[in-house]
């Protein structure tokens, strides 16, 4: 899992938050579909070009089934950053996501409840606990912006990347 200044860490397990940001940003930039101003502002504050470079360089990308389910749910959920999507926008986004996830060679992995650490499950919930279990199984890093998950990764000595670290790697490798 070590990397040199010319190659990024490979095959990360990506969490919902970063994957959703990336997919919405790609959907918006590729299809010119309008997105809510607060979501545009949120994405504009993130190093999305660096993330695109990293995901392409680090393929295949790993995740757990739970993350894919959360992506689906986020298109239905109204939040401060994202008002509810119309059904046609949601359908277009889902078709786009299918193609995009294929391009980044996303590999989905099942993680059973029994494989998850009970403490992680209690503290983080099933998605993040399954991400930690998969990281241990595959001996790889986690790509997330979720502070509790990052803290738990550090406690478990699981390498973790976030937007700041992705931007640093991008600058080093260019």
> Domains in the chain, please, with CATH?
14-173 (3.40.50.1010)
Encode the chain (174 residues) as per-residue pLDDT tens digits.
444 446 788 899 999 999 999 999 999 999 998 887 888 889 999 999 999 999 999 999 999 999 988 988 887 766 555 556 778 888 899 899 999 999 888 999 999 999 999 999 999 999 999 999 999 999 999 999 999 999 999 999 999 999 999 999 999 988
Give the pLDDT of residue 73. 81
**Contact in structure between 3 and 130 (CB atoms under 8 Å):** no
Neighbouring residues of 132: CB distance < 8 A, sequence distance ≥ 6: 116, 117, 120, 124, 142, 149, 152, 153, 156, 158
**Contact in structure between 42 and 28 (CB atoms under 8 Å):** no
**Contact in structure between 94 and 88 (CB atoms under 8 Å):** no
Give the pLDDT of residue 174. 80
């Amino acid at each position: 899992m070590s990397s040199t200044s010319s190659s990024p860490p490979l095959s990360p397990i990506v969490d919902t938050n970063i994957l959703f940001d990336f997919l919405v940003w790609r959907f918006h930039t590729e299809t010119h579909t309008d997105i809510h101003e607060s979501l545009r502002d949120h994405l504009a504050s993130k190093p999305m070009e660096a993330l695109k470079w990293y995901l392409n360089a680090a393929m295949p990308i790993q995740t757990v089934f739970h993350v894919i389910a959360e992506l689906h749910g986020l298109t239905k959920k109204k939040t401060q950053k994202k008002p509810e999507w119309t059904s046609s926008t949601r359908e277009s986004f889902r078709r786009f996501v299918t193609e995009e996830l294929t391009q980044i060679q996303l590999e989905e992995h099942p993680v059973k409840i029994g494989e998850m650490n009970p403490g992680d499950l209690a503290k983080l919930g099933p998605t993040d606990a399954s991400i930690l279990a998969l990281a241990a199984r595959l001996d790889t890093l986690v790509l997330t912006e979720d502070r509790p998950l990052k803290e738990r990764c550090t406690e478990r000595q699981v390498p973790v990347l976030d937007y700041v670290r992705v931007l640093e790697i991008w600058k080093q490798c260019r």
